[in-house]
């Protein structure tokens, strides 16, 4: 069985897959708050060495189950496709092997940035898509001029107001 891990920082998400019976681990760089699938790579050293190599000593990496991991990949793929981002063939092959395309993604495109589960309303999602498209068009993705935003669900919103 593969083992799955995810790390979170505001602004990006790393999904790591320890492939069953393989030396290499798969690393996905994701942006579930804007453009979805960003990059992927393989590495062959222990996961705890990754933080040092990335210069992110404080990064928290937790193990997640297969369903959570595939859900994350499905969601990020859906985000990228929605923005007309081209997914290269080798990445598509990897996702196919991971069974990402076995079911169509029917979840929300973007979820609450705070609790990660709460639903955003249609206007919030439209706003994110609009900004993401503008940033893509203006080549701002992965630059320090990338538009920053933070959208939270109504439940988190009411807790902020307490």
Instruction: State in Å, rounded, how far the first CA of the chain is from the last one.
Output: 45
User: Is 153 an interacting residue with respect to Zn ion (CB under 5 A)?
Assistant: yes
Closer by beta carbon to Zn ion, 85 or else 156: 156
Whole-number Cα distances in Å, 134 to 153, 156, 158: 23, 27, 30
Residue position matching structure tokens 């990059």: 39
Q: Which two tokens stand for residue 77?
A: 């793929």
- Stretch near Zn ion under the rule CB under 5 A, chosen from 51-59, 66-74, 102-110, 149-157: 149-157
Closer by beta carbon to Zn ion, 1 or else 160: 160
- Stretch near Zn ion under the rule CB under 5 A, chosen from 47-55, 78-86, 90-98, 109-117: 109-117
CB under 8 Å to 155, separation ≥6 — which residues?
Answer: 112, 115, 118
The helix or strand, by DSSP H or E, that contains position 12, with its residue range, turns out to be strand 12-18
Closer by beta carbon to Zn ion, 4 or else 151: 151
- Stretch near Zn ion under the rule CB under 5 A, chosen from 1-9, 89-97, 131-139, 146-154: 146-154
User: Is 115 an interacting residue with respect to Zn ion (CB under 5 A)?
Assistant: yes
Q: Which two tokens stand for residue 41?
A: 């790579």
Biggest CA–CA distance in the chain, Å, is 50
Q: DSSP class of residue 1?
A: -
Closer by beta carbon to Zn ion, 5 or else 110: 110
- Stretch near Zn ion under the rule CB under 5 A, chosen from 1-9, 25-33, 119-127, 153-161: 153-161
- Distance between CA atoms of residues 58 and 9, nearest Å: 10
Indicate which single residue of 112, 120, 128, 132 sits in contact with Zn ion (rule: CB under 5 A): 112
Indicate which single residue of 29, 71, 109, 118 sits in contact with Zn ion (rule: CB under 5 A): 118
- Minimum separation from the CB atom of position 82 to Zn ion (A): 21
Residues in contact with Zn ion by the rule CB under 5 A: 112, 114-115, 118, 153, 156
């Amino acid at each position: 069985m593969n083992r799955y891990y995810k790390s979170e920082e505001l602004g990006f998400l790393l999904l790591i897959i320890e492939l069953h019976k393989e030396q290499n681990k798969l690393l996905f760089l994701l942006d579930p708050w804007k453009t979805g699938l960003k990059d992927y790579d393989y590495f062959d050293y222990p996961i705890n060495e990754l933080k040092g190599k990335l210069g992110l000593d404080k990064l928290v990496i937790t193990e997640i189950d297969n369903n959570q991991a595939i859900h994350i990949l499905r969601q990020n793929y859906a985000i990228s496709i929605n923005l007309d981002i081209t997914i290269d063939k080798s990445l598509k092959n990897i996702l196919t092997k991971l069974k990402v395309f076995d079911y169509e993604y029917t979840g929300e495109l973007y979820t609450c940035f705070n609790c990660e589960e709460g639903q955003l309303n249609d206007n919030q999602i439209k706003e994110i898509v609009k900004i993401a498209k503008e940033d893509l068009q203006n080549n701002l993705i992965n630059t320090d001029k990338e538009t920053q935003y933070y959208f939270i669900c109504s439940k988190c919103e009411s807790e902020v107001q307490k």
